[in-house]
């Protein structure tokens, strides 16, 4: 198959304005709508330091991706996908179009924020178990996780997931494939994105007295549990409606090179603690391609 780099445009370019007309979708074989967190927008400052998944997307057909993802707080949590007017207009509003696929990156920020809740808070409000709540010698990484906190996070993400699917089903894109992803294993370390953003996990694991030797295994277990949750949500919808057109892209299979736990800057395939380098995003985009190409 030929390799064709996808063109990524801002949603403001769809309708055009002034002397600029609407975007010429007819010149492309496929059009994709994307919404998400920093993996679809900016993961470091200055932005030129890294990339994102849509910008690294190479497909077998000429494709334009309308990327609604934004840095900062516009899509801070997965629930923003159901309230972002710009995205909803393109998904099911009067100005929407029939897309070939819908890419969604969500849940990661919810997980990270839940890790960053102080141990003084009630167990159901935090994702990590306080030191006094776990065994002196944890038998598995699950011993570090607050069971009530995980239940609350899972219930929240489940509700938002259903809202998002309902939003898609409310318009002409009811049968358009919608794809979610599972993130990737990472190494907690003292490396932020700049401008005071991050690190995100490392300070809180230290505050919860998690031994440094367990930082990477615990981070991997959290990513795996989020992946298992997303997979279960898609499987439940598929059981109710085999034609629901929901998919999971398991980006853990991209096998990104891990970071050095002591590195404060770029290391392995990561520009900082939680965001990949351009090469890392290229590996993730290759995994996305395996799911997207058959849909185009």
Note the pLDDT of residue 80: 67
**What per-residue confidence (pLDDT) applies to 21?**
83
| For residue 1, pLDDT beyond 60 | no
Q: Does domain 4-295 have CATH number 3.30.70.100?
A: no
61-119 pLDDT, tens per residue? 999 999 998 754 333 466 666 778 889 999 998 889 999 999 999 999 899 999 999 99
Q: What digits encode the pLDDT tens for the residues 130-141?
A: 999 999 999 999
pLDDT at 284: 98
pLDDT single digits (tens) 140-186: 999 999 999 999 999 999 999 999 999 999 999 999 999 999 999 99
Could you please report the per-residue DSSP string of the chain?
---EEPEEE-THHHH-BTTB----GGGSSEEEEEEESGGGS--SSSGGG---TGGG-EESS-EEEEE---STTTTSSGGGGGT-HHHHHHHHSTT----SEEEEE-SHHHHHHHHTS-TTS-GGG-SBPPGGGS-SS-SSGGGGB-HHHHHHHHHHHHHHHHHHHHHHHTSTTTTS-EEEE--------S---BTTB---SHHHHHHTT--GGGHHHHHHHHHHHHHHHHHHHHHHHHHH-TTS-EEEE-GGGG-PPPPPTT-SS-BTTBSSSS-B-HHHHHHHHHHHHHHHGGG-
**What is the predicted pLDDT for the residue at 50?**
85
**How far apart are alpha carbons 160 and 229 in whole angstroms?**
13
Mean pLDDT across the chain: 92
pLDDT at 74: 38
pLDDT value at position 119?
A: 97
Structure tokens of 290? 């395996």
CB distance 218 to 138 below 8 Å = no
What gap in Å lies between CA 3 and CA 61, rounded to an integer? 8
- pLDDT number for residue 72: 44
> Is the pLDDT score of 236 beyond 60?
yes
b/e for 21-36, b at 16 or more Cβ within 10 A?
eebeeeebebbbbbbb
Q: At 256, is the pLDDT very low, low, confident or very high (cuts 50, 70, 90)?
A: very high
Asked if residue 44 lies in contact with residue 102, where contact means CB atoms within 8 angstroms, the answer is no
pLDDT of residue 95: 81
The answer to whether the pTM exceeds 0.85 is yes
pLDDT of 261 above 70: yes
Q: How far apart are CA 100 and CA 118, in angstroms?
A: 43
Judge whether residue 266 has pLDDT over 50.
Answer: yes
Write b or e for each residue in 111-139: b if 16 or more Cβ atoms lie within 10 A of its Cβ, otherwise e: bbebbebebeeebeebbbbeeeebeeebe
| pLDDT tens, position by position, 185-203 | 999 999 999 888 899 999 9
- The region, left, alpha or beta by phi > 0 then psi within -120 to 50, assigned to residue 255 is left
């Amino acid at each position: 198959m030929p390799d064709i780099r996808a063109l990524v445009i801002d949603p403001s370019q769809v309708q055009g304005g002034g002397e600029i007309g609407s975007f010429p979708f007819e010149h492309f074989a496929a059009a994709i709508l994307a919404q998400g967190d920093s993996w679809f927008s900016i993961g470091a400052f200055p932005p030129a330091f890294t990339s994102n998944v849509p910008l690294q997307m190479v497909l077998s057909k000429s494709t334009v991706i309308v990327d609604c993802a934004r840095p900062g707080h516009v899509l801070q949590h997965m629930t923003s996908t159901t309230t972002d007017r710009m995205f909803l207009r393109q998904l099911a509003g009067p100005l929407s179009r029939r897309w070939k696929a819908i890419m969604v990156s969500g849940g990661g920020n919810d997980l990270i924020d839940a890790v960053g809740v102080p141990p003084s808070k009630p167990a159901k409000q935090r994702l990590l178990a306080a030191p006094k709540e776990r065994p002196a010698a944890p038998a598995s990484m699950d011993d570090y996780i607050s069971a009530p906190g995980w239940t609350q996070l899972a219930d929240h993400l489940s509700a938002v997931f259903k809202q998002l699917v309902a939003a898609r089903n409310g318009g002409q894109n009811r049968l358009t494939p919608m794809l979610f992803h599972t993130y990737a294993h990472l190494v907690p370390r003292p490396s932020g994105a700049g401008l005071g953003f991050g690190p995100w996990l490392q300070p809180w694991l230290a505050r919860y007295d998690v031994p440094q030797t367990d930082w990477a295994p615990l981070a991997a277990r959290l990513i795996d549990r989020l992946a298992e949750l997303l997979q279960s949500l898609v499987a439940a919808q598929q059981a109710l409606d085999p034609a629901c057109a929901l998919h999971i892209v398991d980006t853990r299979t991209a096998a990104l090179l891990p970071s050095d736990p002591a590195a404060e800057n770029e290391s392995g395939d990561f520009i900082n603690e939680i965001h990949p380098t351009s090469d890392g995003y290229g590996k993730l985009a290759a995994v996305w391609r395996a799911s997207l190409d058959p849909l185009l």
